[in-house]
Structure 1
Amino acid sequence: MAAAELLSDEGYRLDGRRPSELRKVRARMGVFEQADGSAYIEQGNTKVLAVVYGPHELRGSRSRALPDRALVHCQYSLAAFSTGERRRRPPHGDRQTAELALHLRQTFEAAILTQLYPRSQIDIYVQVLQADGGNYCAGVNAATLALMDAGIPMKDFVCASSAGLAADTALADLSWPEEAAGGPQLALALLPASGQIALLQLSARLHQQRLEMALDAALAACRALHAVLDAVVRERLCQASQALGD
Protein backbone atom coordinates (compact mmCIF):
# COMPACT_ATOMS: atom_id res chain seq x y z
CA MET A 1 0.00 0.00 0.00
CA ALA A 2 1.45 3.36 -1.02
CA ALA A 3 1.78 6.11 1.56
CA ALA A 4 -0.58 8.28 -0.45
CA GLU A 5 -3.32 5.67 0.01
CA LEU A 6 -3.14 5.96 3.82
CA LEU A 7 -4.86 9.36 3.68
CA SER A 8 -7.93 10.33 1.70
CA ASP A 9 -8.14 13.58 -0.23
CA GLU A 10 -10.14 14.96 2.72
CA GLY A 11 -7.32 14.08 5.14
CA TYR A 12 -8.90 11.00 6.76
CA ARG A 13 -7.09 7.75 7.49
CA LEU A 14 -8.24 4.25 6.53
CA ASP A 15 -10.24 3.87 9.77
CA GLY A 16 -11.76 7.35 9.57
CA ARG A 17 -9.41 9.09 12.01
CA ARG A 18 -7.66 12.39 11.55
CA PRO A 19 -3.83 12.12 11.39
CA SER A 20 -3.32 13.07 15.06
CA GLU A 21 -6.35 11.21 16.42
CA LEU A 22 -5.94 8.22 18.73
CA ARG A 23 -7.85 4.99 18.43
CA LYS A 24 -10.51 4.49 21.07
CA VAL A 25 -8.96 3.41 24.38
CA ARG A 26 -10.65 1.21 26.99
CA ALA A 27 -8.82 0.02 30.10
CA ARG A 28 -9.43 -1.73 33.41
CA MET A 29 -7.26 -2.40 36.44
CA GLY A 30 -7.41 -5.31 38.87
CA VAL A 31 -8.57 -7.96 36.42
CA PHE A 32 -6.72 -10.80 38.22
CA GLU A 33 -7.08 -11.21 41.99
CA GLN A 34 -4.22 -13.73 42.16
CA ALA A 35 -1.64 -11.20 40.93
CA ASP A 36 -0.22 -8.26 42.87
CA GLY A 37 -1.31 -6.01 40.02
CA SER A 38 -3.02 -6.44 36.68
CA ALA A 39 -4.59 -4.46 33.87
CA TYR A 40 -6.28 -4.93 30.52
CA ILE A 41 -6.26 -2.36 27.73
CA GLU A 42 -7.81 -2.02 24.29
CA GLN A 43 -6.43 0.50 21.82
CA GLY A 44 -8.63 0.14 18.78
CA ASN A 45 -8.61 -3.57 18.00
CA THR A 46 -5.31 -4.19 19.80
CA LYS A 47 -5.96 -5.94 23.11
CA VAL A 48 -3.29 -6.48 25.76
CA LEU A 49 -3.17 -7.97 29.25
CA ALA A 50 -0.45 -7.11 31.79
CA VAL A 51 0.23 -8.83 35.11
CA VAL A 52 2.71 -7.80 37.82
CA TYR A 53 4.14 -9.81 40.73
CA GLY A 54 6.36 -8.33 43.41
CA PRO A 55 8.42 -6.97 44.82
CA HIS A 56 9.42 -10.42 46.10
CA GLU A 57 12.58 -12.38 46.91
CA LEU A 58 14.58 -13.51 43.92
CA ARG A 59 13.72 -16.94 42.59
CA GLY A 60 16.60 -19.19 41.63
CA SER A 61 20.20 -18.10 42.01
CA ARG A 62 20.70 -15.32 44.56
CA SER A 63 23.81 -14.23 42.68
CA ARG A 64 21.54 -12.21 40.38
CA ALA A 65 20.41 -10.02 43.30
CA LEU A 66 21.30 -6.35 43.01
CA PRO A 67 22.45 -4.88 46.34
CA ASP A 68 21.18 -1.37 45.64
CA ARG A 69 17.94 -1.92 43.71
CA ALA A 70 15.31 -4.37 42.55
CA LEU A 71 15.77 -6.57 39.53
CA VAL A 72 13.07 -5.92 36.91
CA HIS A 73 12.14 -9.05 34.97
CA CYS A 74 9.89 -8.71 31.91
CA GLN A 75 8.24 -11.17 29.59
CA TYR A 76 6.45 -10.14 26.39
CA SER A 77 4.43 -12.57 24.32
CA LEU A 78 1.80 -12.77 21.60
CA ALA A 79 -1.05 -15.22 22.06
CA ALA A 80 -1.18 -17.86 19.33
CA PHE A 81 -4.57 -16.49 18.26
CA SER A 82 -3.53 -12.81 18.36
CA THR A 83 -2.96 -12.51 14.60
CA GLY A 84 -4.30 -14.08 11.45
CA GLU A 85 -1.00 -15.84 10.84
CA ARG A 86 -1.10 -19.63 10.95
CA ARG A 87 2.64 -20.15 11.49
CA ARG A 88 3.64 -21.98 14.62
CA ARG A 89 5.24 -19.85 17.32
CA PRO A 90 7.94 -21.14 19.68
CA PRO A 91 6.58 -21.82 23.20
CA HIS A 92 8.73 -19.05 24.73
CA GLY A 93 8.45 -16.59 21.86
CA ASP A 94 10.90 -15.73 19.10
CA ARG A 95 13.79 -13.34 18.73
CA GLN A 96 11.51 -10.35 18.20
CA THR A 97 9.48 -10.96 21.37
CA ALA A 98 12.71 -11.43 23.35
CA GLU A 99 13.92 -8.07 22.03
CA LEU A 100 10.62 -6.43 22.98
CA ALA A 101 10.87 -7.91 26.48
CA LEU A 102 14.31 -6.28 26.77
CA HIS A 103 12.85 -2.95 25.63
CA LEU A 104 10.08 -3.35 28.18
CA ARG A 105 12.61 -3.87 30.97
CA GLN A 106 14.67 -0.86 29.89
CA THR A 107 11.52 1.27 29.71
CA PHE A 108 10.36 0.47 33.24
CA GLU A 109 13.81 0.56 34.83
CA ALA A 110 13.67 4.27 33.95
CA ALA A 111 10.38 4.73 35.80
CA ILE A 112 10.19 2.32 38.77
CA LEU A 113 11.83 3.45 42.01
CA THR A 114 13.83 0.24 42.16
CA GLN A 115 16.18 1.59 44.84
CA LEU A 116 13.38 1.17 47.38
CA TYR A 117 13.55 -2.63 47.04
CA PRO A 118 17.18 -3.81 47.07
CA ARG A 119 17.85 -7.53 46.57
CA SER A 120 14.30 -8.15 45.35
CA GLN A 121 12.57 -8.79 42.04
CA ILE A 122 9.59 -7.30 40.17
CA ASP A 123 8.02 -9.40 37.42
CA ILE A 124 6.09 -7.82 34.55
CA TYR A 125 4.24 -10.11 32.13
CA VAL A 126 2.65 -8.64 29.01
CA GLN A 127 0.59 -10.68 26.59
CA VAL A 128 -0.93 -9.39 23.37
CA LEU A 129 -4.32 -11.05 22.99
CA GLN A 130 -5.19 -9.36 19.70
CA ALA A 131 -2.62 -7.62 17.51
CA ASP A 132 -3.78 -4.76 15.32
CA GLY A 133 -0.93 -2.25 15.45
CA GLY A 134 0.94 -0.49 18.24
CA ASN A 135 1.26 -3.77 20.14
CA TYR A 136 4.36 -2.88 22.14
CA CYS A 137 3.04 0.58 23.00
CA ALA A 138 -0.25 -0.86 24.23
CA GLY A 139 1.79 -3.32 26.30
CA VAL A 140 3.66 -0.45 27.96
CA ASN A 141 0.40 1.32 28.77
CA ALA A 142 -1.12 -1.86 30.22
CA ALA A 143 2.03 -2.58 32.28
CA THR A 144 1.93 0.97 33.68
CA LEU A 145 -1.60 0.41 34.96
CA ALA A 146 -0.68 -3.03 36.34
CA LEU A 147 2.31 -1.60 38.24
CA MET A 148 0.12 1.11 39.73
CA ASP A 149 -2.47 -1.52 40.62
CA ALA A 150 0.31 -3.38 42.46
CA GLY A 151 1.19 -0.22 44.38
CA ILE A 152 4.77 -0.16 43.13
CA PRO A 153 6.19 3.39 43.39
CA MET A 154 7.09 5.03 40.09
CA LYS A 155 8.49 8.41 39.10
CA ASP A 156 5.56 8.93 36.77
CA PHE A 157 3.20 7.24 34.38
CA VAL A 158 4.86 5.64 31.37
CA CYS A 159 2.77 6.37 28.28
CA ALA A 160 3.66 4.93 24.88
CA SER A 161 2.51 5.53 21.34
CA SER A 162 3.64 4.80 17.82
CA ALA A 163 3.81 7.28 14.97
CA GLY A 164 4.60 7.21 11.28
CA LEU A 165 4.56 9.24 8.11
CA ALA A 166 2.27 9.20 5.10
CA ALA A 167 4.06 11.38 2.54
CA ASP A 168 4.60 14.61 4.51
CA THR A 169 1.87 14.01 7.09
CA ALA A 170 2.58 12.56 10.54
CA LEU A 171 0.22 9.84 11.77
CA ALA A 172 -0.20 9.04 15.48
CA ASP A 173 -1.12 5.67 17.01
CA LEU A 174 -0.64 3.46 13.96
CA SER A 175 -3.03 0.64 13.14
CA TRP A 176 -1.87 -2.62 11.57
CA PRO A 177 -2.62 -1.61 7.93
CA GLU A 178 -0.61 1.57 8.47
CA GLU A 179 2.30 -0.38 9.94
CA ALA A 180 2.10 -2.93 7.13
CA ALA A 181 2.41 -0.14 4.52
CA GLY A 182 6.11 -0.16 5.33
CA GLY A 183 6.73 3.54 5.84
CA PRO A 184 9.07 4.96 8.51
CA GLN A 185 7.74 4.39 12.03
CA LEU A 186 8.77 5.10 15.58
CA ALA A 187 7.71 3.91 19.02
CA LEU A 188 7.98 6.30 21.95
CA ALA A 189 7.63 5.71 25.70
CA LEU A 190 7.35 8.95 27.66
CA LEU A 191 7.26 10.03 31.30
CA PRO A 192 4.85 12.93 30.71
CA ALA A 193 5.41 15.01 33.87
CA SER A 194 9.15 15.41 33.29
CA GLY A 195 9.16 14.92 29.54
CA GLN A 196 11.78 12.19 29.97
CA ILE A 197 11.91 9.70 27.10
CA ALA A 198 12.20 6.15 28.41
CA LEU A 199 12.38 4.53 24.96
CA LEU A 200 12.62 5.75 21.37
CA GLN A 201 12.82 3.17 18.62
CA LEU A 202 13.01 3.91 14.88
CA SER A 203 12.29 1.47 12.07
CA ALA A 204 14.36 3.43 9.54
CA ARG A 205 16.69 6.40 9.23
CA LEU A 206 14.88 9.72 8.85
CA HIS A 207 15.86 13.23 7.91
CA GLN A 208 15.84 15.45 11.00
CA GLN A 209 12.80 17.44 9.84
CA ARG A 210 10.76 14.31 9.16
CA LEU A 211 11.91 12.78 12.45
CA GLU A 212 10.71 15.85 14.32
CA MET A 213 7.29 15.59 12.64
CA ALA A 214 6.84 11.96 13.68
CA LEU A 215 8.28 12.60 17.16
CA ASP A 216 5.93 15.54 17.76
CA ALA A 217 2.95 13.36 16.76
CA ALA A 218 4.04 10.60 19.15
CA LEU A 219 4.64 13.07 22.00
CA ALA A 220 1.17 14.57 21.58
CA ALA A 221 -0.35 11.07 21.48
CA CYS A 222 1.49 10.08 24.68
CA ARG A 223 0.19 13.16 26.49
CA ALA A 224 -3.34 12.40 25.33
CA LEU A 225 -2.95 8.81 26.54
CA HIS A 226 -1.72 10.10 29.90
CA ALA A 227 -5.07 11.81 30.45
CA VAL A 228 -6.88 8.55 29.64
CA LEU A 229 -4.69 6.39 31.90
CA ASP A 230 -4.90 8.93 34.72
CA ALA A 231 -8.70 8.76 34.57
CA VAL A 232 -8.55 4.94 34.77
CA VAL A 233 -6.30 5.11 37.86
CA ARG A 234 -8.57 7.65 39.54
CA GLU A 235 -11.60 5.47 38.88
CA ARG A 236 -9.77 2.49 40.40
CA LEU A 237 -8.91 4.55 43.50
CA CYS A 238 -12.56 5.60 43.89
CA GLN A 239 -13.65 1.97 43.69
CA ALA A 240 -11.07 0.97 46.32
CA SER A 241 -12.15 3.81 48.62
CA GLN A 242 -15.80 2.80 48.31
CA ALA A 243 -14.93 -0.81 49.06
CA LEU A 244 -13.06 0.23 52.21
CA GLY A 245 -15.98 2.42 53.25
CA ASP A 246 -18.40 -0.48 52.88
Structure 2
Amino acid sequence: MAITELSALLKGMAGLELLSEQGYRLDGRKAGELRKLQARMSVFAQADGSAYLEQGNTKVLAVVYGPHETRGSRAKSLHDRAVINCQFSMATFSTAERKRRPHGDRKSSEMSLHLKQTFEAAVLTQLYPRSQIDIYVKILQADGSNYSACVNAATLALVDAGIPLRDYVCACTAGFVEDTALADLCHVEESGGGTALALALLPCSGNIALVQMDSRLHQDHLDKLMEAAAKACQDLSKVLDGVVRRHLEEVSDLTKH
Protein backbone atom coordinates (compact mmCIF):
# COMPACT_ATOMS: atom_id res chain seq x y z
CA MET A 1 0.00 0.00 0.00
CA ALA A 2 2.77 2.42 0.99
CA ILE A 3 4.65 1.70 -2.28
CA THR A 4 1.47 2.30 -4.32
CA GLU A 5 0.90 5.61 -2.56
CA LEU A 6 4.51 6.62 -3.19
CA SER A 7 4.36 5.81 -6.91
CA ALA A 8 1.08 7.77 -7.20
CA LEU A 9 2.72 10.72 -5.48
CA LEU A 10 5.74 10.57 -7.82
CA LYS A 11 3.44 10.36 -10.85
CA GLY A 12 1.58 13.42 -9.60
CA MET A 13 4.85 15.32 -9.23
CA ALA A 14 6.00 14.28 -12.69
CA GLY A 15 2.75 15.59 -14.14
CA LEU A 16 3.05 18.90 -12.29
CA GLU A 17 2.37 21.74 -14.68
CA LEU A 18 5.39 24.02 -14.36
CA LEU A 19 4.01 26.52 -16.88
CA SER A 20 0.30 27.25 -17.34
CA GLU A 21 -1.30 27.85 -20.73
CA GLN A 22 -1.39 31.56 -19.84
CA GLY A 23 2.42 31.53 -19.37
CA TYR A 24 2.49 31.62 -15.56
CA ARG A 25 4.77 29.51 -13.38
CA LEU A 26 3.81 27.69 -10.16
CA ASP A 27 4.64 30.75 -8.02
CA GLY A 28 2.80 33.14 -10.36
CA ARG A 29 5.87 34.53 -12.13
CA LYS A 30 6.22 35.07 -15.88
CA ALA A 31 8.98 33.14 -17.71
CA GLY A 32 11.72 35.78 -17.41
CA GLU A 33 10.68 37.18 -14.02
CA LEU A 34 13.03 36.98 -11.02
CA ARG A 35 12.01 35.79 -7.58
CA LYS A 36 11.84 38.51 -4.95
CA LEU A 37 15.36 39.39 -3.78
CA GLN A 38 16.01 40.95 -0.38
CA ALA A 39 19.44 41.51 1.14
CA ARG A 40 21.26 43.20 4.00
CA MET A 41 24.95 44.04 4.32
CA SER A 42 27.18 44.23 7.45
CA VAL A 43 25.18 41.55 9.28
CA PHE A 44 28.19 39.96 11.00
CA ALA A 45 30.32 42.43 12.96
CA GLN A 46 33.38 40.16 13.44
CA ALA A 47 34.05 39.83 9.68
CA ASP A 48 35.61 42.35 7.26
CA GLY A 49 32.48 42.07 5.11
CA SER A 50 29.20 40.16 5.28
CA ALA A 51 25.77 39.90 3.68
CA TYR A 52 22.52 38.00 4.15
CA LEU A 53 20.46 37.40 1.02
CA GLU A 54 17.07 35.87 0.26
CA GLN A 55 16.40 34.96 -3.37
CA GLY A 56 12.87 33.60 -3.24
CA ASN A 57 12.99 30.96 -0.50
CA THR A 58 16.73 30.35 -0.91
CA LYS A 59 18.53 32.02 2.00
CA VAL A 60 22.29 32.58 2.15
CA LEU A 61 24.85 34.08 4.50
CA ALA A 62 28.21 35.22 3.05
CA VAL A 63 31.20 36.33 5.10
CA VAL A 64 34.52 37.77 3.87
CA TYR A 65 37.87 38.05 5.69
CA GLY A 66 40.86 39.82 4.21
CA PRO A 67 42.94 40.70 2.44
CA HIS A 68 45.36 39.24 5.01
CA GLU A 69 48.69 37.39 4.97
CA THR A 70 48.45 33.88 3.55
CA ARG A 71 48.09 31.31 6.30
CA GLY A 72 49.79 27.95 6.44
CA SER A 73 52.18 27.00 3.66
CA ARG A 74 54.07 29.91 2.10
CA ALA A 75 53.97 28.00 -1.19
CA LYS A 76 50.27 28.94 -1.40
CA SER A 77 51.00 32.68 -1.64
CA LEU A 78 51.41 34.31 -5.07
CA HIS A 79 53.99 37.09 -5.52
CA ASP A 80 51.85 39.08 -8.00
CA ARG A 81 48.28 38.72 -6.71
CA ALA A 82 46.00 37.61 -3.88
CA VAL A 83 44.89 34.01 -3.44
CA ILE A 84 41.10 33.62 -3.23
CA ASN A 85 39.91 30.93 -0.86
CA CYS A 86 36.21 29.96 -1.04
CA GLN A 87 34.36 27.60 1.26
CA PHE A 88 30.75 26.57 0.65
CA SER A 89 28.55 24.72 3.12
CA MET A 90 24.89 23.94 3.69
CA ALA A 91 23.17 24.09 7.06
CA THR A 92 21.90 20.63 8.05
CA PHE A 93 18.39 22.09 8.29
CA SER A 94 18.57 23.81 4.86
CA THR A 95 16.66 21.10 2.97
CA ALA A 96 13.83 18.69 3.72
CA GLU A 97 16.32 15.80 3.40
CA ARG A 98 17.55 14.84 6.84
CA LYS A 99 20.77 13.13 5.74
CA ARG A 100 24.06 14.22 7.26
CA ARG A 101 26.09 16.60 5.15
CA PRO A 102 29.80 16.08 5.79
CA HIS A 103 31.78 19.32 5.47
CA GLY A 104 34.07 17.99 2.75
CA ASP A 105 31.52 16.20 0.56
CA ARG A 106 31.96 16.25 -3.23
CA LYS A 107 29.13 18.69 -3.97
CA SER A 108 30.43 21.22 -1.44
CA SER A 109 33.97 20.93 -2.83
CA GLU A 110 32.64 21.41 -6.37
CA MET A 111 30.62 24.46 -5.34
CA SER A 112 33.63 25.93 -3.48
CA LEU A 113 35.72 25.54 -6.65
CA HIS A 114 33.04 27.17 -8.85
CA LEU A 115 32.83 30.13 -6.46
CA LYS A 116 36.63 30.48 -6.43
CA GLN A 117 36.75 30.50 -10.26
CA THR A 118 33.90 33.04 -10.38
CA PHE A 119 35.53 35.55 -8.03
CA GLU A 120 39.01 35.13 -9.51
CA ALA A 121 37.45 36.65 -12.65
CA ALA A 122 36.04 39.64 -10.76
CA VAL A 123 38.27 40.62 -7.80
CA LEU A 124 41.24 42.90 -8.60
CA THR A 125 43.63 40.41 -7.01
CA GLN A 126 46.74 42.13 -8.41
CA LEU A 127 46.24 44.95 -5.89
CA TYR A 128 47.04 42.55 -3.03
CA PRO A 129 50.19 40.51 -3.82
CA ARG A 130 51.23 37.78 -1.33
CA SER A 131 47.89 37.95 0.46
CA GLN A 132 44.68 35.96 0.80
CA ILE A 133 40.95 36.74 0.66
CA ASP A 134 38.59 34.25 2.33
CA ILE A 135 34.96 33.94 1.22
CA TYR A 136 32.70 31.71 3.33
CA VAL A 137 29.18 31.03 2.05
CA LYS A 138 26.48 29.06 3.86
CA ILE A 139 23.05 28.07 2.55
CA LEU A 140 20.56 28.43 5.40
CA GLN A 141 17.54 27.39 3.31
CA ALA A 142 17.69 25.77 -0.11
CA ASP A 143 14.97 26.27 -2.71
CA GLY A 144 16.81 26.21 -6.04
CA SER A 145 19.51 28.34 -7.72
CA ASN A 146 21.89 27.76 -4.80
CA TYR A 147 25.05 28.69 -6.73
CA SER A 148 23.46 31.91 -8.04
CA ALA A 149 22.27 33.02 -4.61
CA CYS A 150 25.75 32.31 -3.18
CA VAL A 151 27.44 34.43 -5.85
CA ASN A 152 25.04 37.34 -5.33
CA ALA A 153 25.46 37.22 -1.53
CA ALA A 154 29.27 36.93 -1.75
CA THR A 155 29.38 39.92 -4.14
CA LEU A 156 27.60 42.07 -1.53
CA ALA A 157 29.93 40.78 1.22
CA LEU A 158 33.02 41.67 -0.89
CA VAL A 159 31.63 45.18 -1.51
CA ASP A 160 30.98 45.46 2.24
CA ALA A 161 34.62 44.47 2.91
CA GLY A 162 35.79 47.25 0.56
CA ILE A 163 37.52 44.80 -1.80
CA PRO A 164 37.75 46.29 -5.33
CA LEU A 165 35.85 44.38 -8.03
CA ARG A 166 35.89 44.86 -11.80
CA ASP A 167 32.08 44.93 -11.59
CA TYR A 168 29.26 43.39 -9.60
CA VAL A 169 29.20 39.64 -10.17
CA CYS A 170 25.58 38.65 -10.82
CA ALA A 171 24.50 35.05 -11.21
CA CYS A 172 21.24 33.49 -12.33
CA THR A 173 19.91 30.16 -13.55
CA ALA A 174 17.80 29.46 -16.61
CA GLY A 175 16.08 26.29 -17.77
CA PHE A 176 13.63 24.99 -20.35
CA VAL A 177 10.05 23.94 -19.76
CA GLU A 178 8.87 22.62 -23.11
CA ASP A 179 10.18 25.34 -25.45
CA THR A 180 10.08 28.23 -22.98
CA ALA A 181 13.22 29.49 -21.23
CA LEU A 182 12.58 30.22 -17.53
CA ALA A 183 14.87 32.46 -15.44
CA ASP A 184 15.80 32.10 -11.75
CA LEU A 185 14.65 28.53 -11.16
CA CYS A 186 13.16 27.37 -7.87
CA HIS A 187 13.77 23.84 -6.56
CA VAL A 188 10.66 22.30 -8.18
CA GLU A 189 11.64 23.75 -11.58
CA GLU A 190 15.24 22.54 -11.19
CA SER A 191 13.96 19.07 -10.29
CA GLY A 192 11.69 18.99 -13.34
CA GLY A 193 14.24 17.02 -15.34
CA GLY A 194 14.98 19.65 -17.99
CA THR A 195 18.37 21.23 -18.71
CA ALA A 196 19.41 23.94 -16.26
CA LEU A 197 22.19 26.45 -16.84
CA ALA A 198 23.84 28.73 -14.27
CA LEU A 199 25.55 31.90 -15.49
CA ALA A 200 27.75 34.35 -13.56
CA LEU A 201 28.12 37.62 -15.45
CA LEU A 202 29.96 40.94 -15.07
CA PRO A 203 27.02 43.03 -16.37
CA CYS A 204 28.80 46.25 -17.44
CA SER A 205 31.29 44.52 -19.75
CA GLY A 206 29.11 41.49 -20.48
CA ASN A 207 32.09 39.25 -19.60
CA ILE A 208 31.22 35.76 -18.36
CA ALA A 209 32.81 34.66 -15.07
CA LEU A 210 31.37 31.13 -15.14
CA VAL A 211 28.87 28.98 -17.03
CA GLN A 212 27.75 25.68 -15.61
CA MET A 213 25.34 23.13 -17.09
CA ASP A 214 24.08 19.95 -15.47
CA SER A 215 23.13 18.04 -18.63
CA ARG A 216 23.46 18.08 -22.41
CA LEU A 217 21.67 20.64 -24.50
CA HIS A 218 21.20 20.94 -28.25
CA GLN A 219 23.32 23.76 -29.69
CA ASP A 220 20.23 25.46 -31.16
CA HIS A 221 18.76 25.92 -27.66
CA LEU A 222 21.95 27.19 -25.96
CA ASP A 223 21.63 30.77 -27.25
CA LYS A 224 18.05 31.05 -25.99
CA LEU A 225 19.02 29.79 -22.54
CA MET A 226 22.13 32.02 -22.32
CA GLU A 227 20.05 35.01 -23.39
CA ALA A 228 17.45 34.37 -20.66
CA ALA A 229 20.16 33.96 -17.99
CA ALA A 230 22.10 37.06 -19.16
CA LYS A 231 18.95 39.22 -19.15
CA ALA A 232 18.16 38.01 -15.61
CA CYS A 233 21.75 38.83 -14.51
CA GLN A 234 21.37 42.36 -15.89
CA ASP A 235 18.11 42.75 -13.94
CA LEU A 236 19.79 41.36 -10.81
CA SER A 237 22.66 43.87 -11.09
CA LYS A 238 20.15 46.72 -10.66
CA VAL A 239 18.72 45.04 -7.55
CA LEU A 240 22.19 44.48 -6.02
CA ASP A 241 23.17 48.06 -6.84
CA GLY A 242 20.03 49.24 -5.01
CA VAL A 243 21.00 47.18 -1.94
CA VAL A 244 24.52 48.71 -1.93
CA ARG A 245 23.20 52.27 -2.33
CA ARG A 246 20.67 51.83 0.47
CA HIS A 247 23.41 50.45 2.72
CA LEU A 248 25.70 53.41 1.97
CA GLU A 249 22.86 55.82 2.78
CA GLU A 250 22.24 54.06 6.11
CA VAL A 251 25.96 54.16 6.99
CA SER A 252 26.27 57.85 6.10
CA ASP A 253 23.15 58.64 8.18
CA LEU A 254 24.68 56.84 11.16
CA THR A 255 27.99 58.71 10.85
CA LYS A 256 26.13 62.03 10.69
CA HIS A 257 24.38 61.28 13.99
Q: TM-score if structure 2 supplies the norm length?
A: 0.93
Q: Distance in 1 between matches of 2:68 and 2:40?
A: 24
Match of residue 211 from structure 2? 200
1:131 aligns with 2:142: yes
Deviation at 1:209, TM superposition (A): 2.2
Deviation at 1:140, TM superposition (A): 0.1
1:165 aligns with 2:182: no
| Deviates most, 189-198 or 205-214 | 205-214
Q: Which runs of 5+ in 2 are unaligned?
A: 1-12
Identity over aligned residues, as a percent? 66
1:153 aligns with 2:170: no
Contact 1:3 1:166 in 2 (8 A): no
Deviation at 1:124, TM superposition (A): 0.1
Structure 1 ranges of 4+ moved more than 6 A: none
Contact 1:124 1:143 in 2 (8 A): yes
Q: Distance in 2 between matches of 1:93 and 1:50?
A: 18
Q: Please give the root-mean-square deviation of Cα atoms over the aligned residues, in Å.
A: 1.1
Match of residue 220 from structure 1? 231
1:10 aligns with 2:29: no
Q: Distance in 2 between matches of 1:186 and 1:93?
A: 24
Contact 1:4 1:167 in 2 (8 A): no
Contact 1:3 1:181 in 2 (8 A): no
Deviations 1:192-246 (CA, angstroms, capped at 9, x unpaired): 0000000001112212221111111101110111000000000111112122222
Give runs of aligned pairs for residues 2-81 of structure 1, distance below 5 A.
5-81=17-93
Letter paired with 2:29: R
Letter paired with 2:100: R
Deviation at 1:6, TM superposition (A): 1.1
Q: Distance in 2 between matches of 1:45 and 1:239?
A: 26
1:106 aligns with 2:117: yes
Q: Distance in 1 between matches of 2:53 and 2:141?
A: 11
Number of paired residues? 245
Deviation at 1:47, TM superposition (A): 0.2
Match of residue 128 from structure 2? 117
Q: Distance in 1 between matches of 2:170 and 2:132?
A: 23
User: Secondary structure of the equivalent of 1:5?
Assistant: coil
Letter paired with 2:23: G
Q: Distance in 2 between matches of 1:13 and 1:93?
A: 35
Q: Distance in 1 between matches of 2:115 and 2:252?
A: 31
Q: Distance in 2 between matches of 1:107 and 1:60?
A: 24
User: Secondary structure of the equivalent of 1:237?
Assistant: helix
Deviations 1:157-209 (CA, angstroms, capped at 9, x unpaired): 00000000001000000000001111101000000000000000111221222
Contact 1:23 1:43 in 2 (8 A): yes
Q: Distance in 2 between matches of 1:196 and 1:245?
A: 38
Q: Looking at both structures, which has the greater relative contact order when contacts are Cα pairs under 8 Å and sequence separation is at least 6?
A: 1
Q: Which has the larger radius of gyration?
A: 2
Q: Distance in 2 between matches of 1:209 and 1:234?
A: 39
Match of residue 4 from structure 2? none
Q: Distance in 2 between matches of 1:200 and 1:2?
A: 28
Deviations 1:80-138 (CA, angstroms, capped at 9, x unpaired): 00000011111x14101100100000000000000000000000000000000001100
User: Secondary structure of the equivalent of 1:194?
Assistant: coil
Q: TM-score if structure 1 supplies the norm length?
A: 0.97
Q: Distance in 2 between matches of 1:99 and 1:152?
A: 24
Q: Distance in 1 between matches of 2:250 and 2:167?
A: 22
